[in-house]
A and B are shown apart, each in its own frame.
Chain A
Amino acid sequence: MREAELRERLAATGYVADETLSMALHLALTLGRPLLLEGPAGVGKTEIAKALSEVLETRLIRLQCYEGLDAGHAIYEWNYQRQLLAIRADGADEAALFSETYLLKRPLLEAISQEVRPVLLIDEIDRADEEFEAYLLEILSDFQITIPELGTIRARTRPVVVLTANGTRDLSDALRRRCLYSYVDYPDRETELAILSRRAPDVEARLARQIIGVVQALRREELEKSPGIAEMLDWAGALSGLGINDLSANPAQVQATLVCLLKTAADRDALPPEVMARIVGKVA
């Protein structure tokens, strides 16, 4: 699949990717290397994996990372309770106990034992501990997992791996070296307008322009949490749900819908109606 074709097919699923990102995805598919995506929260990093799995028409297997995530939760675990019951029931022998029947597959093992290559999303890898990150290196470079009782399980098909990070902590050089890298930033005006019209086609063109104008202006303000794309879409949904066609026409209602965009008390205080009126006035 050429890069331009990939971009078109992503757009067909509702994901508008810019050239840099589609190149990164194209290379990840062609070279079979994991792709590391970084950028602020809410720019659609997780969405990329979902869109990609839709384009490739395969399963999306997701591993959400968190502090304290360990191999048992990410790779595999023995179903101890079932094993114990089996022993009590008919005194099963040891070989039977450590077989696939009692193996609980967690996302990583699941991903490498698929017949059709899946998209493996390792979300917010920077939240996991460093030990886990190191463990991941083996899987990402060789696509194999060793289970002492069963032996080594090799990947039948190489999954397409997408990792995302928010910058909670620094990732190791070793991990970065194995991955392709792309920095996903807030989209520019045209791209964001395209996203909005793709995802919410019933929003009128004039309102859409105003929405994007306000959101882009808010990102330039000094807020504690800048609104992301998801917030923008929520807001657009709220506005059209209320039947608002023009932001400047109904300031009180617009102010009330700001709960979709502003997520901290300080940010709400930073945007009183007068300031909003000024911003809306500029884009209207």
Chain B
Amino acid sequence: MAVTRFPLRAEGLADRMAGFIAHLRMNGLRLGPGETVAALAALSAVKATDPDQARRALKTLLVPDADAWRRFDDLYDSYWFNMGKQRQGEANVNVRVQSAKPALWQSHLGADGPEQESDAGQLDGGDGEAEGTDGRLIATRTEALSRRDLRELMDEDSLRTAEKAAQDLGRALRDRRSRRRRQAVRGQELDLRRVMRASLARGGEPLDLPRRKRPDRPLRIVALCDVSGSMTTVSRVFLAFLRGLISVDTRADAYLFHTRLMRVTDALRDRDTLRAAGRLSLMAEGFGGGTDIGGALRTFNAGHAGRAVNGRTVVIILSDGYCTGAPEAVAEGLRRLQRRAHRVVWLNPLNGWEDHAPVARAMTAARPHLDALLPANSIEALAALEPEFARL
């Protein structure tokens, strides 16, 4: 393969290396100037003229995690080899999509941006107004919905209410500390009573120092949110809801799925709303398309569940249950998930409708593997979830 010809003004190896680091940084790896120096040092430790050795050395040095590990080879080729120019199209995706965020995200993520201030001013009715927003999320007739502007359905106020509901919910699960103390091997304080009692056996010398602490048992939230076509009308509120969940608990974890599954925790937590929008829009390809709940669950179980889910985790699935995949796959995925998790809760926006029967086959298949199937058709319903969750 042909090695890239660098412009004449490029001054030797150090300059090119700086260019390479900049190239990686543009593609989302977080690297500082220190890494450039380290990279040059690493090259001097290997046979730098052998492109393969150099690649392996740089990969070890510059890659921070498993995700980047898989991408690195492409990035390396696209910078150092002419051959990579075709591949560079792939890397360029980042740049292109930055400017083209889907409308779905724009105003939600700009919620704390300045231009929203005026909006909020109009709607400012104090906290007491919250109960006036009932049922705005979904109207009873779908035909009427189709032509209406989303913003009208889900104004900033209801988004904020959704976020608030999520925060309450997160707190309800998190702050479940016991007031009582228990014996512990490592603890904040000495258990004086036991120290005294144990010292009797040693002639009054407090040799053994038993400790005690507050058992600390927060439940962790992991949320999987469906953003396929059938969920478009409620997606924005659910995203606000997710954001609320994420913001109260540093350990909460969030994923979106349609035909694929992706993790959005970091993107939702990003304080820089513009960057967050950019990152989310990268993941947005396929928004509003079909759903494969079973496939998403399988990906989740295989890739993320080991880290994200344990016996103190509540898994929340936000979906209407309409999916293109086999219902058996949904059941199988949930069965595995339920064995790993503390509770699996499904929030279904269709469920709150009067005379709604869960006709979606995936829903029927899923039912036996759920700890709770709760309605989420309106913001009120979301807010009413807190006592339900407190019982989990």
Taking CB atoms, residues of chain A closer than 8 Å to B64 are: 173, 176-177, 181
Q: Is B63 an interface residue (CB 8 A)?
A: yes
Q: Is A20 an interface residue (CB 8 A)?
A: yes
Specify the chain A residue showing the minimal Cβ separation from B63.
Answer: A181
Partner of A181, one of B30, B38, B65, B205: B65
Bound together, the chains give a CA A65 to CA B252 distance in angstroms of: 23
A57-98 residues with Cβ-Cβ distance < 8 A to B are: 68, 70, 72-73, 80-81, 84-85, 88
- In the assembled complex, the CB of B302 is this many whole angstroms from the nearest CB of chain A, namely 8
Residues of B participating in the A interface, judged by any CB pair closer than 8 Å: 30, 32, 38, 41-42, 45-46, 53, 56-57, 59-61, 63-66, 69, 186, 205-209, 298, 302, 306-307, 336
- In the assembled complex, the CB of A130 is this many whole angstroms from the nearest CB of chain B, namely 9
- CB-CB under 8 A for A20 and B59, given A80-B209, A170-B307, A173-B64: yes
Specify the chain A residue showing the minimal Cβ separation from B59.
Answer: A20
Partner of A38, one of B42, B61, B66, B336: B66
Contact call A27/B66, Cβ cutoff below 8 A: no
Bound together, the chains give a CA A72 to CA B59 distance in angstroms of: 36
Taking CB atoms, residues of chain A closer than 8 Å to B57 are: 23, 27
Contact call A23/B186, Cβ cutoff below 8 A: no
- In the assembled complex, the CB of B128 is this many whole angstroms from the nearest CB of chain A, namely 40
- CB-CB under 8 A for A26 and B209, given A20-B56, A70-B186: no
Q: Is A256 an interface residue (CB 8 A)?
A: no
Q: Is A152 an interface residue (CB 8 A)?
A: no
Q: Is A31 an interface residue (CB 8 A)?
A: yes
Specify the chain A residue showing the minimal Cβ separation from B52.
Answer: A19
Interface residues on A, range: 35 or more
Bound together, the chains give a CA A72 to CA B207 distance in angstroms of: 17
Q: Is A133 an interface residue (CB 8 A)?
A: no
Q: Given contacts A20-B60, A85-B207, A166-B306, could you give 18 more A-B pairs where the C-beta distance is less than 8 Å?
A: A3-B46, A19-B56, A27-B45, A27-B57, A30-B45, A31-B38, A31-B45, A35-B60, A38-B65, A80-B209, A81-B208, A84-B205, A169-B307, A173-B30, A173-B64, A176-B64, A177-B32, A181-B69
Bound together, the chains give a CA A19 to CA B298 distance in angstroms of: 32
Contact call B69/A183, Cβ cutoff below 8 A: yes
> What 0/1 pattern do residues 189 to 206 of A give for CB contact below 8 A with B?
000000000000000000
Taking CB atoms, residues of chain A closer than 8 Å to B38 are: 31, 33
A172-194 residues with Cβ-Cβ distance < 8 A to B are: 173, 176-177, 180-183
Contact call A168/B205, Cβ cutoff below 8 A: no
Taking CB atoms, residues of chain B closer than 8 Å to A23 are: 46, 53, 56-57, 60
Contact call B186/A68, Cβ cutoff below 8 A: yes
Q: Is A24 an interface residue (CB 8 A)?
A: yes
Contact call A31/B205, Cβ cutoff below 8 A: no
Bound together, the chains give a CA A167 to CA B303 distance in angstroms of: 10
Taking CB atoms, residues of chain B closer than 8 Å to A81 are: 207-208
Contact call B46/A26, Cβ cutoff below 8 A: yes
A-B CB contact pairs (8 Å), 7 listed: A3-B46, A23-B60, A27-B42, A38-B65, A84-B207, A166-B306, A183-B69
Taking CB atoms, residues of chain B closer than 8 Å to A47 are: none
Taking CB atoms, residues of chain A closer than 8 Å to B46 are: 3, 23, 26-27
Bound together, the chains give a CA A3 to CA B56 distance in angstroms of: 11
Specify the chain B residue showing the minimal Cβ separation from A39.
Answer: B66
Taking CB atoms, residues of chain B closer than 8 Å to A173 are: 30, 64
- In the assembled complex, the CB of B215 is this many whole angstroms from the nearest CB of chain A, namely 12
Q: Is A138 an interface residue (CB 8 A)?
A: no
